[in-house]
């Protein structure tokens, strides 16, 4: 009985010692994701991704390269739902891929490239480096089949036409959902609902 209580106490003390490290890791990641949120605010998206382009201008992207709230909802309703990390990694890849697609069509001196997207691309690279540092790759870890199918089909399926602004709009909305714990004033499952804009407008 005494030995059992001692083991339980040691485990509890070990958890308490690890707790500050976990909190520090989460805090560091949240600082980075909040920086991304500030750079993805609605006024910047509208100014650089809509007003600086011709009316109804679109670019071609593969289906898997646009990650939306309904994609998250569909994946979470699978029989074997993915881990949050799987979804975050998909979001990170799709976001960076979308930015690179827009940069590819912009002239070198285009104001959106010089004053916005190039800096946003750097922020995403820094975030990716931090994310991978805090979440080291586990070669033995296998994602659910639904996630693996998406990775296998990246850049394979047909193309769709999207506006430059919609790429960052989807990036912003899915970020609020997948990293909602970093936004304490907004933390709610509400942001993971595909039609969230009908009930509440966010920046």
In a structure prediction context, what are the per-residue pLDDT tens digits for the chain, which is 203 residues long? 444 444 433 443 333 333 343 344 478 899 999 999 999 999 999 999 999 999 999 999 988 888 999 999 999 988 888 999 999 999 999 999 999 999 999 999 999 999 999 999 999 999 999 999 998 877 777 888 888 888 888 777 778 899 999 999 999 999 999 998 888 655 455 567 766 555 454 55
Question: Token match 């940069």: residue?
Answer: 103
- Looking at residue 113, what DSSP letter applies? I
**Cβ-defined contacts of 69-73 (< 8 Å, 24+):** 69/170, 69/173, 69/174, 69/177, 69/192, 69/193, 69/194, 69/196, 70/194, 71/174, 72/174, 72/177, 72/178, 72/192, 73/192, 73/193, 73/194
Q: From CA 110, how far away is CA 47, in angstroms rounded? A: 13
Q: Measured in whole angstroms, how far is the alpha carbon of residue 119 from the centre of its chain?
A: 17
φ, ψ of residue 166 to 5 degrees: the values are: -65, -30
Which residue matches tokens 């007003």? Answer: 51
Residue 165: helix, strand or coil by DSSP? helix
Q: What are the chain's domains? A: 27-198 (1.20.1250.80)
- What pTM was estimated for this model as a whole? 0.80
Could you list the beta-strand ranges (E) of the chain: 59-62, 159-162
Residue 69 to residues 97, 108, 177, Cα–Cα distance (Å):
17, 32, 8
Q: Is there a contact between 181 and 187 (Cβ–Cβ < 8 Å)? A: yes
């Amino acid at each position: 009985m005494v030995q059992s209580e001692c083991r339980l106490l040691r485990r509890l003390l070990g958890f308490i010692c690890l707790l500050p490290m976990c909190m520090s890791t989460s805090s560091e990641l949240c600082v980075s994701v909040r920086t991304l949120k500030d750079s993805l605010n609605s006024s910047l998206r509208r100014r650089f991704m809509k007003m600086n382009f011709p009316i109804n201008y679109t670019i071609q992207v593969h289906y898997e390269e646009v990650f939306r709230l309904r994609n998250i909802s569909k994946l979470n309703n699978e029989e074997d739902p993915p881990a949050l990390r799987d979804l975050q990694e998909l979001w990170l890849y799709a976001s960076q891929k979308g930015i690179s697609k827009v940069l590819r069509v912009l002239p070198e001196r285009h104001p959106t490239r010089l004053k916005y997207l190039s800096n946003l691309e750097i922020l995403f690279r820094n975030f990716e480096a931090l994310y991978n540092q805090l979440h080291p790759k586990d070669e033995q870890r296998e994602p659910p089949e639904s996630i693996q199918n998406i990775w296998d089909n990246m850049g394979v399926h047909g193309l769709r036409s999207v506006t430059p602004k919609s790429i960052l709009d989807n990036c912003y909305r899915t970020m609020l959902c997948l990293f909602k714990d970093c936004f304490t004033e907004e933390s709610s499952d509400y942001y993971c609902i595909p039609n969230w804009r009908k009930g509440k407008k966010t920046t």
